[in-house]
C-alpha cells in the first residue's frame, strides 16, 4: 500500500520484461485465495456449528436463525466484517494501488476519464463476481437450509453487499488521497512515457461495465425469490380488502393494514425490489379500487342528496388519498432513495392521483354543465331598461345570479365537503370557478340591447360573481387571469367606445374578441353580432367558441360580421356607418396585427 514501493516494483519488473506475467500471477493468486475463502464461508457444516467454537464462515451466520444469545449474534456479525468482506476490501485495494501508481488519476471501480477501465482491476473484479455467483449457486443447490436462508433473509445479505461496496469506495479514495499527497508523480514520470502497447497491459476500455451491478447480480436469483414471496405477503391485505366480486372500498383499518405492509418493506433499498414492489402494489390497488367506482347516472346527479354510488365514490377517493399521502410520507422519510425508484414511485403516485380525478370527474362535469346552464339564462332577463331615478339598480343582483350563488353553495355543502382531500378538491373546483368566470364574461359581452339601467344591474352581477365562485376556491384572487378579467371588464360597462378601445387591459388581460363582441351591443340592430348573422342560438355560439379557442378563428368570425354589415349598408345605399363601426374596424386591425 506504499505508492513509492509499488512504483519501484513496477519499474523493476518492467525493466526485467516480466511485468505482465508478474501482475497476472498476483491477481490470479488473489482470485485463488478468494475462491477458497468463499467455499469456507459457504460450508454448511461450519455454519451449523456453535459460533463459540468455530468462527470460519460466520459471514453468513448473520442471515441464519440465531441459536445463541444476542451477544453471540453481535459477535457473529462483527466476525463477518473481519473475514470475507475484509479480504475482498484489502485485495481490491491492493489491486487498485497498482492501477493508481501507473495512471496517476483513475476513479476506483469506474471507467477512467482518459483511458478506460483498468485491465488489472477489471480482471480481478470479474473473477470476484463470477466466483461469488458460481459458489453461491453450488452451495444453495446442495443445501436447502442455506437456500432458504439466502431467499428468506435477502435484505440482510444485500446489506452486507452494500456495506462492502461502500467500504471499497472509501478505501480506494483513501489510496488515491495518499498517492496525491505522497509526491510520487514526479518520481515515476518515466512510467507515463511507456509505449502504447505497454498501456494495454493495465488498461482496457469497458464503458458499459458496471462493477457494482456485477457484484449485486450474483444475488439475482435470491432477489427474485425474495421479491416473489414479499409480493405474495404484500398482496394478502389487498386480497382481503378486495375479495372476488367485491365492490366496496376498503375501511380505514383495512387501509392501515395495507400501508403498514408497504412500510415494512420500504427499508429494502435494492432498486429492483423497490420498483417491482411499488409497481405491483400500485397496479393492484388501482385496479381493485377502479372496480369499486360508480359510473352510473346517479354518480353525477346534482339535484338531490348523495346517492349510494356517490357515497362509494367519495369513499374510494378518500382511500386513494390516504394511500397516496402514506406512500409519499414513507418515501420522503427514507434517507436515501435510488433516482430510478423515486421516478417509478412518483409515476405510480401520479396514477393514483389520476384515478382520484376519474372518480370525481362525473360530478365535476355535471356541476359544470349546471353552472353553464344557469349563467346562460341571463339572456332571458331584460337589461334594456333605463336608469332609475335613484341612480341605483332596483335589486342587488339578477335572478340568475341568485340561483348561481345558491347552487354553488349547495353542491359544495352537499357533495364536496365529504371529501377529506381538501387540496385535491380545490384544485378541481378552482378550475370550475375559472370556467364559470369565463362563461359569465362571455355571456355578459353578448347581452343586447343593454340600457343604462341594465349596465348598473350587470355591474352589480360582476361584483356578486366573486361571491358566487368564492366557495369553489381558497381565495378568489388565486384564480389568476380569470380574476383579473372579471375585475377589468366591469369598469368598461360605463366607458365610451373610444376609451374602451384604448384600455390598457385590452389584449393583455381581456382578449380582443371579447371586447369586440361587447361593442356590438352599442351598434344598431343592422350591425348584427356574429351569432345573429350565422343565425345561431347563444348556446350554439358559446359551443363554437369552446371548439375554437384560437383568437385568430374568433376574430375571423367577427370580421365576417363586420363585412356583412358593410355590404348591407351599401345594398341599401346608406350614406354613413354606425359611429362604433370605425372603432371596431381599428380595433380588429390592431388585434390582427398582434397575431402576426
Q: Give residue-wise pLDDT tens across range 119-166.
A: 677 778 888 888 888 988 888 888 888 888 888 878 778 888 888 888
pLDDT of residue 505: 92
pLDDT of residue 75: 37
Number of domains in the chain: 3
Instruction: Tell me how far apart the alpha carbons of residues 200 and 588 are, in angstroms, rounded to a whole number.
Output: 75
Q: Could you tell me if 271 and 320 lie in one domain?
A: yes
pLDDT of residue 541: 97
Chosen domain end from 302, 322, 357:
357
pLDDT band at 472 (very low <50, low <70, confident <90, very high): very high
Q: Could you tell me if 9 and 35 lie in one domain?
A: yes
- Assigned domain for 269 exists: yes
Q: pLDDT tens, 296-334?
A: 777 888 998 888 888 888 988 898 898 888 888 877 777
- Assigned domain for 14 exists: yes
- Assigned domain for 246 exists: yes
Is residue 227 within 8 A of residue 277, CB to CB? The reply is: yes
Q: Could you tell me if 20 and 123 lie in one domain?
A: yes
Q: Could you tell me if 76 and 141 lie in one domain?
A: yes
pLDDT of residue 513: 96
Chosen domain end from 162, 196, 228:
228
Q: Could you tell me if 222 and 74 lie in one domain?
A: yes
3-state secondary structure 92-124: HHHHHHHHHHHHCCCCCCCCECCCEEEHHHHHH
Residue of higher predicted confidence among 438 and 96: 438
- In sequence order, the 6+-apart residues with CB closer than 8 A to the CB of 516 are 555, 558, 584, 587, 588, 591
CB atoms inside a 10 Å sphere around CB 60: 25
- In sequence order, the 6+-apart residues with CB closer than 8 A to the CB of 401 are 461, 464, 465, 468
- Assigned domain for 349 exists: yes
Is residue 440 within 8 A of residue 408, CB to CB? The reply is: no
Q: Could you tell me if 25 and 149 lie in one domain?
A: yes
Chosen domain end from 302, 335, 357:
357
pLDDT of residue 228: 78
Q: Could you tell me if 137 and 270 lie in one domain?
A: no
Is residue 366 within 8 A of residue 301, CB to CB? The reply is: yes
What domain range is 533 assigned to? Answer: 523-595
pLDDT band at 595 (very low <50, low <70, confident <90, very high): confident
Is residue 202 within 8 A of residue 99, CB to CB? The reply is: yes
Q: Could you tell me if 326 and 283 lie in one domain?
A: yes
Average the pLDDT over 430-439 and give the result.
97
pLDDT of residue 343: 75
Q: Could you tell me if 224 and 296 lie in one domain?
A: no
- Assigned domain for 506 exists: no
Instruction: Tell me how far apart the alpha carbons of residues 100 and 592 are, in angstroms, rounded to a whole number.
Output: 69
Per the document, the length of the chain is 596
pLDDT of residue 93: 64
Residue of higher predicted confidence among 437 and 171: 437
Output the nine-digit C-alpha cell for 464. 356578486
- Assigned domain for 184 exists: no
Q: Could you tell me if 96 and 218 lie in one domain?
A: yes
- Assigned domain for 529 exists: yes
pLDDT of residue 250: 74
- Assigned domain for 531 exists: yes
What is the pTM assigned to this prediction? 0.66
pLDDT of residue 76: 36
Q: Could you tell me if 224 and 309 lie in one domain?
A: no
Q: Which range is least confidently modeled, 66-80, 179-193, 206-220, 450-464?
A: 66-80
pLDDT band at 526 (very low <50, low <70, confident <90, very high): very high
pLDDT of residue 122: 76
Q: Which range is least confidently modeled, 160-174, 181-195, 373-387, 436-450?
A: 181-195
Q: Could you tell me if 251 and 311 lie in one domain?
A: yes
Amino acid at each position: 500500500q506504499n505508492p513509492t514501493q509499488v512504483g519501484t516494483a513496477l519499474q523493476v519488473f518492467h525493466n526485467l520484461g516480466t511485468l505482465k506475467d508478474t501482475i497476472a500471477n498476483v491477481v490470479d493468486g488473489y482470485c485463488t485465495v478468494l475462491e477458497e475463502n468463499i467455499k469456507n464461508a459457504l460450508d454448511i457444516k461450519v455454519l451449523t456449528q456453535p459460533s463459540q467454537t468455530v468462527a470460519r464462515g460466520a459471514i453468513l451466520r448473520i442471515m441464519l436463525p440465531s441459536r445463541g444469545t444476542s451477544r453471540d449474534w453481535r459477535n457473529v456479525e462483527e466476525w463477518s466484517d473481519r473475514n470475507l468482506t475484509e479480504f475482498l476490501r484489502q485485495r481490491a485495494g491492493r489491486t487498485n494501488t497498482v492501477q493508481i501508481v501507473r495512471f496517476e488519476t483513475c476513479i476506483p471501480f469506474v471507467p477512467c476519464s482518459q483511458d478506460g477501465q483498468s485491465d488489472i482491476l477489471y480482471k480481478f473484479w470479474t473473477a470476484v463476481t463470477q466466483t461469488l455467483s458460481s459458489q453461491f449457486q453450488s452451495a444453495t443447490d446442495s443445501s436447502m437450509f442455506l437456500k432458504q436462508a439466502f431467499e428468506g433473509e435477502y435484505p440482510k445479505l444485500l446489506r452486507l453487499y452494500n456495506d462492502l461496496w461502500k467500504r471499497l469506495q472509501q478505501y480506494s479514495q483513501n489510496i488515491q488521497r495518499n498517492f496525491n499527497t505522497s509526491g510520487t508523480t514526479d518520481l515515476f514520470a518515466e512510467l507515463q512515457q511507456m509505449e502504447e502497447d505497454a498501456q494495454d497491459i493495465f488498461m482496457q476500455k469497458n464503458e458499459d461495465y458496471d462493477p457494482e451491478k456485477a457484484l449485486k447480480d450474483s444475488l439475482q436469483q435470491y432477489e427474485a425469490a425474495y421479491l416473489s414471496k414479499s409480493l405474495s405477503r404484500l398482496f394478502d391485505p389487498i386480497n382481503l380488502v378486495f375479495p372476488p366480486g367485491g365492490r366496496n372500498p376498503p375501511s380505514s383499518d383495512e387501509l392501515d393494514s395495507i400501508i403498514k405492509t408497504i412500510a415494512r418493506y420500504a427499508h429494502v433499498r435494492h432498486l429492483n425490489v423497490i420498483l417491482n414492489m411499488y409497481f405491483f402494489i400500485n397496479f393492484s390497488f388501482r385496479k381493485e379500487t377502479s372496480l369499486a367506482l360508480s359510473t352510473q347516472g346517479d354518480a353525477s346527479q346534482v339535484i338531490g342528496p348523495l346517492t349510494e354510488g356517490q357515497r362509494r365514490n367519495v369513499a374510494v377517493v378518500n382511500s386513494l388519498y390516504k394511500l397516496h399521502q402514506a406512500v409519499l410520507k414513507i418515501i420522503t422519510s427514507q434517507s436515501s432513495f435510488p433516482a430510478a425508484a423515486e421516478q417509478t414511485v412518483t409515476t405510480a403516485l401520479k396514477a393514483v392521483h389520476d384515478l382520484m380525478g376519474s372518480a370525481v370527474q362525473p360530478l365535476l362535469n355535471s356541476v359544470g354543465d349546471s353552472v353553464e346552464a344557469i349563467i346562460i339564462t341571463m339572456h332571458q332577463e331584460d337589461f334594456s331598461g333605463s336608469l332609475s331615478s335613484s341612480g341605483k339598480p332596483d335589486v342587488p343582483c339578477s335572478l340568475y345570479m341568485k340561483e348561481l350563488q345558491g347552487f354553488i353553495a349547495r353542491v359544495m355543502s352537499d357533495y364536496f365537503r365529504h371529501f377529506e382531500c381538501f387540496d385535491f378538491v380545490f384544485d378541481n373546483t378552482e378550475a370550475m370557478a375559472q370556467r364559470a368566470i369565463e362563461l359569465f364574461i362571455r355571456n355578459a359581452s353578448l347581452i343586447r340591447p343593454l340600457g343604462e339601467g341594465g349596465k348598473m344591474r350587470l355591474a352589480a352581477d360582476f361584483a356578486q360573481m366573486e361571491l358566487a365562485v368564492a366557495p369553489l376556491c381558497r381565495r378568489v384572487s388565486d384564480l389568476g387571469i380569470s380574476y383579473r378579467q372579471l375585475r377589468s371588464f366591469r369598469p368598461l360597462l360605463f366607458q365610451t367606445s373610444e376609451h374602451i378601445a384604448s384600455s390598457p387591459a385590452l389584449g393583455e388581460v381581456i382578449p380582443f374578441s371579447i371586447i369586440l363582441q361587447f361593442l356590438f351591443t352599442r351598434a344598431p340592430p343592422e350591425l348584427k353580432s356574429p351569432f345573429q348573422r350565422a343565425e345561431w342560438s347563444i348556446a350554439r355560439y358559446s359551443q363554437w367558441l369552446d371548439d375554437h379557442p384560437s383568437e385568430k378563428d374568433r376574430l375571423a368570425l367577427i370580421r365576417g360580421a363586420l363585412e356583412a354589415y358593410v355590404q348591407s349598408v351599401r345594398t341599401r345605399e346608406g350614406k354613413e356607418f354606425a359611429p362604433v363601426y370605425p372603432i371596431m374596424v381599428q380595433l380588429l386591425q390592431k388585434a390582427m396585427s398582434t397575431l402576426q
